[in-house]
Amino acid sequence: MTKILKTGIVSYGYAAKTFHAPLIKAVPGLQLAAISSSNPAKVHIDQPDLPVFSSPGELFSCADIDLVVIPTPNETHFPLAAAALAAGKHVVLDKPFTLTTDEGKELIKLAHQCDRQLSVFHNRRWDSDFLTLQKVLREGSLGRVTHFESHFDRYRPEVQTRWRESAALGGGLWFDLGSHLLDQALQLFGTPKTMWLDLARQRDGAVADDWFHAVLGYDEMRVILHGSALVANPGPRMTVHGTSGSFTKFGLDTQENALKSGQQPGIPGWGNDPLSCKLSLKHKGAIIEQDIITTPGNYQAYYEGIRDAICLGSPNPVTAEQALLVMRLIELGIDSAQEGRKLLVSER
Q: What is the domain class of 124-297 according to CATH?
A: alpha beta
List, for residues 45-69, the tens digit of each pLDDT value: 999 999 999 999 999 999 999 999 9
CB 61 within 8 A of CB 8: no
What is the spatial distance between Cα 158 and Cα 221, in angstroms, rounded to a whole number? 36
- What count of residues does the chain have? 348
Mean pLDDT of 290-313: 97
Closest by CA position to 272, among listed 292, 294, 304: 294
List, for residues 171-191, the tens digit of each pLDDT value: 999 999 999 999 999 999 999
On the CB side of 295, how many CA atoms lie within 13 Å of its CA? 14
Rg (CA), the chain: 20
Quick check: 72 pLDDT over 70?
A: yes
What is the spatial distance between Cα 271 and Cα 258, in angstroms, rounded to a whole number? 8
* End-to-end CA gap in the chain: 44
Residue 188, phi then psi, degrees to nearest 5 = -80, -40
The CATH 3.30.360.10 portion of the chain extends over 124-297
The H or E element that residue 318 is part of is: none
Residue 168, phi then psi, degrees to nearest 5 = -70, 155
Rounded to two decimals, the pTM is: 0.96
Mean pLDDT of 133-145: 97
CB 249 within 8 A of CB 149: no
The H or E element that residue 227 is part of is: strand 221-228
pLDDT score, position 1: 56
pLDDT band at residue 230 under the 50/70/90 scheme: very high
In sequence order, what are the residues at sequence separation of 6 or more whose Cβ sits closer than 8 angstroms to the Cβ of residue 234? 151, 153, 250
CB 140 within 8 A of CB 243: no
The CATH 3.40.50.720 portion of the chain extends over 5-121+301-317
**DSSP 3-state assignment of 57?**
helix
Residue 86, phi then psi, degrees to nearest 5 = -60, -25
CATH number corresponding to 5-121+301-317: 3.40.50.720
Give the β-pairing of 221-228 and 52-53. Answer: unpaired
What is the spatial distance between Cα 141 and Cα 207, in angstroms, rounded to a whole number? 44
